[in-house]
Amino acid sequence: MAISRRTALRASIVSGTGLLFGGAATAAAAAPLAPVHAPDADAALKLLKQGNRRWRRFEQKHPNEGARRRGQVLSGQNPFALVLGCADSRVPAELVFDRGLGDLFSIRSAGQVLDESVLGSISYGVEHLHIPLIVVLGHAGCGAVTAAVETHRGGELPEGHIGYLVEQILPVVDATPDDGEDFVDACVSANALHIAETLRFDPDLVGHVDSGELRVVAARYELDSSEVRFLD
């Protein structure tokens, strides 16, 4: 009987997985995933601040990147914080907070825009991974926020998917006082604060927030100083 190309490919992947990771899986069983690093939001926030301090000072420790950690995370994940950041390539959460594998549940979208996919990912992190802290991380010079400011000031709304992003940010821009040169900067902070507040009252999350199991904070990353500034 002839075997389809798809069936053969699936069989080779399964076989290859066993060959490649069989030893690692055994190591993972011997070294289960480490306990929660941060049992509550305060401890999680402290770890993030410490990591960003190391990053700013070029004193990174690159934790949880070695062979043992790679074996541990085969058996599951236990991140201590969720970071909703921008898709901008200059602001990777694991680098700016000096963390490693399994530490952060990272979700990224341009301008931290919330849609069903992003919200579903956040809900999963909170409900199934029991993450105690969400950080909404904006950043200086955000292109998505800048595009919304340009539209606010009379420019044409971009077409297609980019237009969707701008439309989601535009209400925040419209509600922010236009102070001239620093307007984009002000809108970056306002956008992060608005998204954090939206998440606090999201139907999937509000119960966790009200019970004290979950904390949601807004922050921004400064490109020039490499500092994460927490806004609330």
Cα 178 to Cα 200: distance, rounded to the nearest angstrom = 27
CA distances (Å), origin 26, targets 11, 18, 65, 218 = 22, 11, 18, 40
Let me know: does 58 contact 229? Beta carbons within 8 Å.
Answer: no
Cα 221 to Cα 44: distance, rounded to the nearest angstrom = 18
Let me know: does 204 contact 126? Beta carbons within 8 Å.
Answer: yes
Please tell me whether 179 is known to bind a ligand. Answer: no
Cα 165 to Cα 138: distance, rounded to the nearest angstrom = 15
Work out whether strand 133-139 and strand 215-221 pair parallel, antiparallel, or are unpaired.
Answer: parallel
Cα 186 to Cα 169: distance, rounded to the nearest angstrom = 13
Please tell me whether 187 is known to bind a ligand. Answer: no
Q: In what order do the strands lie in the sheet with 228-230?
A: 104-108, 81-85, 133-139, 215-221, 228-230
Let me know: does 37 contact 80? Beta carbons within 8 Å.
Answer: yes
Cα 126 to Cα 123: distance, rounded to the nearest angstrom = 5
Say whether 92 sits in a helix, a strand or coil: coil
Known binding residues for Zn(2+) are: 86, 88, 139, 142
Which residues carry a binding-site annotation? Answer: 86, 88, 139, 142
